[in-house]
Amino acid sequence: MDIFLELPLEWAILALFCGAMIRSNATYWLGRGAAAGARRTSLEKHLDGPVMKRAERLMDRFGPLAVTLCFLTIGLQTAVIASAGIARMHLVRFLPAVMAGSIIWAVVYATVGLAAVAAWLGLVLASPAAAVVIGILLAGALAFVLWRRKRRERAAGAEEARKAA
């Protein structure tokens, strides 16, 4: 991580872009390989069926936007990109989408992301106790947000059940 902090911004963006391109293309091709391997098993009838054909058409039509936008998420990138490979998204659509997403990710990470990491590392080195307290506060805030969301969902479900009854 320190190596990116020492690079000029343009070089950091380029290095992060290259890393994102390598990772995302490898994930895409692993997805395609898994689908090709599955075609040699009893799953072939499902992969060549109407549902999968529809998924392939949808991936070709809307998938490029999903691929580009998945770079702004945490935890969905691999799933979306692997799905593009499994659904055999055409490279003509996949490559521009993954390039745009990689550029966005590299710029965001090289500016905001690396600055946050540098600030966190600075805090940890300066005051490990403060870093632990802040980490606990952040975890508590996240738990609270998730708890409230779950509570709202339950309330909405109960309201719908009342209306349906």
Q: Per residue in 40-75, pLDDT tens?
A: 887 777 666 776 677 677 777 778 888 998 888 777
pLDDT-above-70 percentage for the chain: 91
Whether residues 65 and 37 fall in one domain? yes
Whether residues 85 and 151 fall in one domain? no
Determine the average pLDDT of the residues in 9-35.
Answer: 92
* Inside any domain, residue 41: yes
Strands (E), the chain: none
Buried residues in 68-90 as b, exposed as e (16+ CB within 10 A): bebbeeeeebeebbbbbbbbbbe
Whether residues 136 and 69 fall in one domain? no
Residue 84, domain extent: 2-112
Whether residues 136 and 97 fall in one domain? no
Whether residues 160 and 88 fall in one domain? no
Q: Does 1 score more than 60 pLDDT?
A: no
Chain-centroid distance, C-alpha 136: 25
Q: How far apart are CA 13 and CA 15, in angstroms?
A: 6
* Inside any domain, residue 141: yes
* Inside any domain, residue 140: yes
Contact criterion met (CB below 8 Å) for 124 and 11 = no
Please, which residues have CB within 8 angstroms of residue 32's CB and are 6 or more apart in sequence?
A: 85, 86, 88
* Inside any domain, residue 54: yes
pLDDT band of 96, cuts 50, 70, 90:
very high
Whether residues 27 and 98 fall in one domain? yes
Whether residues 79 and 104 fall in one domain? yes
What is the domain count for the chain?
2
